[in-house]
Structure 1
């Protein structure tokens, strides 16, 4: 690899990481789109990882915080992170670090979309449950949100 290519790749990675956290897979894909071979980029990405400039752990934490802020549940979050080849242990650790209350988040998301009143009829209830399921919440979190106040 020529020194100018190395400089361009380092510069591209630096610019990506200056804006936000990126997963290793995401950086590799973006560099590949720019026409760089993985054999050229992999050693440079490894240097960034060893220097702790690029971290899948920080990326996962940022994604968890973003998902919570956007009202997305744990299932959707895990699916999104899996697309970035983030390991299950890293995902679990990131969720543990952020420690969101998924039940209260599901309730807040439902109230924001449909208002504070609990659904009266079957059709409204199904509509709200499907919405929360799409957002990635588990069944027990959806039930909590549908009840409205956490009571049976």
Structure 2
């Protein structure tokens, strides 16, 4: 059974039906399929006008998928890679920073919670590197390890 070749707009709609894509992502994914007579920018403009492409939804989707496991810095990095507007990125980052400590603590507990708090400098450095690699700020990483140590000391009393 032979399928008809998808038009550029059809390809864009197919991609958008799978997940939210930013305009920049769609441009890069569709640019290799542009044929003579196709106007990619006009198609993307039309999709944006009809609200099929929404930077706010892209940002919300990324936050929903990544925020529970990643720090603000990593989420912001991903938003920038999608080509989103700086104003939207800054607003999203401000939202994320209000919950960063709780998210970092949750990630730390899921990875190291069953263990004692870091007893050696090497173990502490390992835990700090893990959280930093996830995009949590240095201040938050220090607060998580400090509060984890205090919680364990409180349990012993």
Instruction: Please state how far the C-alpha of 1:98 moved relative to its aligned partner.
Output: 6.9
Query: TM-score, normalized by length of structure 1?
Result: 0.83
Work out the CA distance in 2 between the residues paired with 1:14 and 1:110: 39
**Aligned length, in residue pairs:** 145
Larger Rg: 2
Partner of 2:113 in structure 1?
115
Contact 2:72 2:96 in 1 (8 A): no
Equivalent residues in 2 for 1:88-127, closer than 5 Å = 88-95=86-93, 101-116=99-114, 117-127=116-126
Q: CA RMSD in A?
A: 2.5
Give the structure 2 partner of residue 81 of structure 1.
Answer: 79
User: Is 1:30 aligned to 2:29, yes or no?
Assistant: yes
Note the C-alpha offset of 1:92. Answer: 2.8
Q: Deviations over 1:95-122 (max 9, x none)?
A: 5567861101101111111124321111
Deviation at residue 93 of structure 1 after TM alignment: 3.0
State the partner residue of 1:55: 54
Q: TM-score, normalised by structure 2?
A: 0.81
